[in-house]
Homo-oligomer: A and B are copies of this chain.
Amino acid sequence: MAFTLGIDFGTNSVRAVVVDCANGREIGSRVIDYPSGKRGVLLDPRDPNLARQHPGDYFYGLQESVRGALEAASAVVGFRRDAVIGIGVDTTGSSPLPVDGQNRPIGMEPKLKDNLAAQCWLWKDHTSYAEAARITELAAKHRPQFIAKCGNTYSSEWFWSKIWHCLESAPEVFAAADSWIELADFIPAVLAGVTDPLKIKRGVCAAGHKALYADEWGGLPDKEFLMLLDPKLADLRDRLYEKAWDATTAAGDLTFEWAEKLGLPESIPIAIGEFDVHYGAIASGVREGVLAKVIGTSTCDCCVVKFDKQVKDIPGICGIVKGAILPGYYGIEAGQSAVGDIFNWWVEVVCEGDANLHATLSAEAAAQRPGQSGLLALDWNNGNRTILVDPRLGGLVVGQTLHTTRAEIYRALIEATAFGARMIIERLREYGVPVEKVVCCGGVAEKNALLMQIYADVTGCTMYVAGSEQTCALGSAISAAVLAGPEKGGHPDFAAAQRAMTSLKPVQYDPVPESQKVYQQLFLLYRQLHDAFGGVDRQADLSAIMKDLIRIREEQVGDER
């Protein structure tokens, strides 16, 4: 028997899972909440855009979660610590942190421990919006190829925006840092004891999706371009990395020191770090034709296309990166800026209800027929990531009467996210990326049968749910199992590992033809609103929208009688 360890660094906590390489079974796990800040996030009451994380929490969470997971696994017959053959790590991203020349986070130094700019800049930090806009502008002018693969828009959430904002807003912190590193690269380097930032094996997932890295233009953006931003960023380039690696390369081997600390065999291989959703996609069974959809507060859609195919730049898609998810494939990432967050907003902020209200509203909404409320909504409360790549948009609800209920609006918001999901699928297909099957994971997919059925009816795809409830950690463990190889009890490649170690839940959601017919009509109206408010159609005729909604409502009510 052989086991690998998957460690998933989330926004609020870290989770370690011990997985059986033969079948993907999770035999022990442990979740550790980050001790600092508000649920692990350092905030600034004066700036709602700021979200940081204390690096000390990573060390604490790493040690406690792994020890806890191993302890839990030890109770299982057949498990032995020396049968752990590898470790995989996934994290949020882009979450870069400043480090010194020994890969030590400068935010842990006594003089900087209270300086928010010296901590890890969490993925959802949006303080760098001005720098992002300038990078987009400069790249559009001087290096259009840099942003062609990320929807022609460089985000405030990403690597260079954040570091530049640090340079501009906290130059003393920037000066104190020898290098910057993505959390997804940092943890594997720590476990492997690689301290020279230039020797750390950085993953192409973070590099390609967030740092404008591509082999075809020689790695990170050239110095000449970075000079246009700031000469200090051009200097920094020499202290980052020359090359980034896909998951066929090890980040290193576990040091004696960490092996002792965690209670694991020394020198087992550590997989290249990837972002949580990418390893999650692997554990959801992503392969050509399979769209892996992580539905949470927001949504991340991942798919892969073999290298031997020509993948065109796809307008509005967040990223197309060689080797980012699976080695040998383009990793393609799209997403919706808010999904669960919209439902939470409705329930908690507007209805002022607690979490139980989700169930109540879902039950009421499930009793309604498609179109019966006469409502239509846009899912843009947090902007639109794919396919408009525009954060400066807002939500919209249309068709309210004097009788419209909160449950009807709740359902309309679910439908809006489903229409948004369909826009992504259509865009992918339009540019030759096959989508034949959709596998979902994440809390919303597991808990909300109404949402899953609506997604099936709206997209026309059968919706499956990944077997594991911890796909991110499982995907990390799969990567470790491939890296360890079959001779150690692992697997020869990802396809074999996915066959052995992933599964689907027995439930599946098939499109209901009657509902599809109604949703087809509503989707056409959604697309009219989408194009009109999204700036795609600047001569929009919306005169029939409200009348069509009333007609559809009357047809549905009529059918019911």
Chain B minimum-CB-distance residue to A536: B543
Q: Is the CB of A402 within 8 A of B338?
A: yes
User: Quick check: is A231 within 8 A (CB to CB) of the other chain?
Assistant: no
Residue A394 contacts which of B398, B533, B538, B541 (CB distance < 8 angstroms)? Answer: B398
Q: Is the CB of A541 within 8 A of B540?
A: yes
User: Quick check: is A405 within 8 A (CB to CB) of the other chain?
Assistant: yes
B residues less than 8 Å from A374 (CB atoms):
394
- CB proximity to B under 8 Å, residues A503-542: 532-535, 538-542
B residues less than 8 Å from A396 (CB atoms):
396-400
Number of copies: 2
B residues less than 8 Å from A392 (CB atoms):
546-547, 550
User: Quick check: is A549 within 8 A (CB to CB) of the other chain?
Assistant: yes
User: Quick check: is A545 within 8 A (CB to CB) of the other chain?
Assistant: yes
Q: Is the CB of A399 within 8 A of B403?
A: no
- For the complex formed, measure the closest distance between the CB of A404 and the CB atoms of chain B, giving whole angstroms: 7
In the docked arrangement, what's the CA distance between A351 and B543, Å? 30
User: Quick check: is A382 within 8 A (CB to CB) of the other chain?
Assistant: yes
- For the complex formed, measure the closest distance between the CB of A206 and the CB atoms of chain B, giving whole angstroms: 26
Q: Is the CB of A549 within 8 A of B394?
A: yes
B residues less than 8 Å from A540 (CB atoms):
532, 539-542
User: Quick check: is A365 within 8 A (CB to CB) of the other chain?
Assistant: no
Q: Is the CB of A533 within 8 A of B542?
A: yes
Chain B minimum-CB-distance residue to A349: B405
- For the complex formed, measure the closest distance between the CB of A342 and the CB atoms of chain B, giving whole angstroms: 7
On chain A, the number of residues with a Cβ less than 8 Å from chain B's Cβ atoms is: 44
Chain B minimum-CB-distance residue to A549: B394
B residues less than 8 Å from A338 (CB atoms):
402
User: Quick check: is A226 within 8 A (CB to CB) of the other chain?
Assistant: no
Give 1 or 0 for each of A208-244: 1 = CB within 8 Å of chain B CB.
Answer: 0000000000000000000000000000000000000
Q: Is the CB of B394 within 8 A of A400?
A: yes
User: Quick check: is A445 within 8 A (CB to CB) of the other chain?
Assistant: no
User: Quick check: is A409 within 8 A (CB to CB) of the other chain?
Assistant: yes
User: Quick check: is A469 within 8 A (CB to CB) of the other chain?
Assistant: no
In the docked arrangement, what's the CA distance between A426 and B169, Å? 49
Known: A349-B402, A404-B350. A542 touches B532 (CB 8 A): yes
User: Quick check: is A437 within 8 A (CB to CB) of the other chain?
Assistant: no
Question: Nearest 7 A-B pairs (CB), nearest first?
Answer: A395-B400, A535-B543, A394-B399, A539-B539, A538-B541, A396-B398, A345-B402
Sample (15) of A-B pairs whose CB atoms are under 8 Å apart: A342-B402, A349-B403, A350-B351, A350-B409, A374-B394, A381-B400, A392-B547, A393-B547, A394-B398, A394-B401, A532-B542, A532-B543, A533-B545, A535-B543, A539-B541
Q: Which residues of A contact B (CB under 8 A)?
A: 338, 341-342, 344-345, 349-352, 374, 380-382, 392-406, 409, 532-535, 538-543, 545-547, 549-550
